[in-house]
A and B are shown apart, each in its own frame.
Chain A
Amino acid sequence: MTIASSTQFICFVVLSAVVAIGALGVVLLPSIVYSAFLLGGVFLSVAGLYLLLNASFVAAAQVLVYVGAVNVLILFAIMLVNKKEDLAAIPGLAVRRLLSGAVCGGLFVLLLRVAFTTPWALPGPTPIGEEATIRIGEHLFSDYLLPFELASVLLLMAMIGAIVLARRDVYSSDVVTGEPADQGLIEKSRTPLLLEKTN
C-alpha cells in the first residue's frame, strides 16, 4: 500500500466519521443552534468527500451553496424565530423513538444489502478532472439551456412571491362584511416576531 492510497483511506475514514457523527448530532442535540453549526460541519465534510472523488467543481459549489447559503439561511431562521415554546409531553416518546429507530435501521440494512449484492459495473467512466467545469458550461449553454433558464425564472418567481408576502401594508377586503380591512392591523394584532423599535 503506497503512501498516496493510505492517505486517501485515512482522509475517507476521517471525513466519513465527521459526517456520521455530525449527522447524529444534528438530529439528536437538544439545542437547535448547535445542530445548525454541526450541519455546516457535515456540509463541509461532504465537500471534502467530493474532493476525494475528483469532483472539485462540485466541492466548490457545495461550499458556496450549502455552507454559504442554505446553512446561513437556516441560522437566520433560527435566530429570527427564537421562540421558546414548551411542547406538550407525548406519552411513550421513548418507545416511539425506538420504534422509528428500528424502522430506520431496517431501511439501513436494506440499503446496505442493495449496495453489497448488486453487481456494479466497475470501474465506471473515467473522471475528466479539471475539464469538468468546461464541460458543464458547454452543456448549460447548449443543450441544457431551457432547464437552466426555467430554473432562473422559477427563482425570480420565488423572489417576487417572497416580496409580496413580506409586504405589510396591503389593503384587503373583509370576507364577511366586504369592507376594506387593513392587513397591517391584522398582522400587528398577532404576536410580533421581531421587537419593533419604539421611538
Chain B
Amino acid sequence: MTIELPTTVPLQAYLALAAILFCTGVWGLINSRNAVRVLMSIELMLNAVNINLWRSPATSMVS
C-alpha cells in the first residue's frame, strides 16, 4: 500500500529560501558603507538568483 506523501522538497521551499537570500543581499547593498561589503551583498543576490534557476525535480530515491 502506498500513501501519497511529498517525497521531495517542494519548489516553494527553494523559492522562499532564494527570496530570503535576495532580500538579505538587498538590505546589505543599501546599508553597507564599505565597498567590499557591497560586493559581498551583490554576490549574495547572484547566488539567490542561481538557486531559483537551478530548481529541477530531484528524482525520488524511494522505490
**B residues within 8 A CB of A50?**
54
**Contacting residues of chain B (1-29) with chain A, CB-CB under 8 angstroms:** 5-9, 11-17, 19-28
A72 touches B (CB below 8 Å): no
A63 touches B (CB below 8 Å): no
Closest-CB distance, A118 to chain B (whole angstroms) = 9
Selected from A24, A42, A87, A107, the residue in CB contact (under 8 A) with B47 is A42
The residue in B37, B51, B60 that gathers the most chain A C-beta atoms within 10 A of its C-beta is B37
B56: nearest chain-A partner, CB-CB = A127
Selected from B28, B39, B62, the residue in CB contact (under 8 A) with A27 is B28
Whole-angstrom CA separation of A74 from B55 in the bound complex: 28
Asked if B54 and A35 sit within 8 Å, CB to CB, the answer is no
**1/0 per position for A97-115, CB-CB distance to B under 8 A?**
1001101110110011001
Asked if B12 and A23 sit within 8 Å, CB to CB, the answer is no
Give the size range of B's interface with the partner: 35 or more
A148 touches B (CB below 8 Å): no
Contact A70 to B43, CB < 8 A, known contacts A104-B23, A107-B23, A115-B16: yes
Q: How many residues of A contact B (CB 8 A)?
A: 57
Stretch at the interface among A3-11, A172-180, A182-190: A3-11
Whole-angstrom CA separation of A112 from B55 in the bound complex: 16
Asked if B62 and A4 sit within 8 Å, CB to CB, the answer is yes
A53 touches B (CB below 8 Å): yes
Asked if B58 and A42 sit within 8 Å, CB to CB, the answer is no
A2 touches B (CB below 8 Å): yes
Whole-angstrom CA separation of A198 from B29 in the bound complex: 40
Contact A100 to B30, CB < 8 A, known contacts A16-B17, A53-B54, A58-B54: yes
Asked if A111 and B22 sit within 8 Å, CB to CB, the answer is yes
Whole-angstrom CA separation of A108 from B36 in the bound complex: 24
Whole-angstrom CA separation of A43 from B5 in the bound complex: 31
Contact A74 to B58, CB < 8 A, known contacts A66-B47, A104-B27: no
Mark B residues whose CB is within 8 Å of A.
5-9, 11-17, 19-28, 30-34, 36-37, 39-41, 43-44, 47, 50-51, 54-62
16 further interface pairs, Cβ-Cβ under 8 Å (given A2-B62, A23-B24, A27-B32): A5-B6, A8-B9, A9-B9, A26-B44, A27-B44, A32-B34, A49-B14, A54-B58, A55-B56, A74-B43, A107-B26, A111-B15, A115-B12, A122-B57, A125-B56, A129-B59
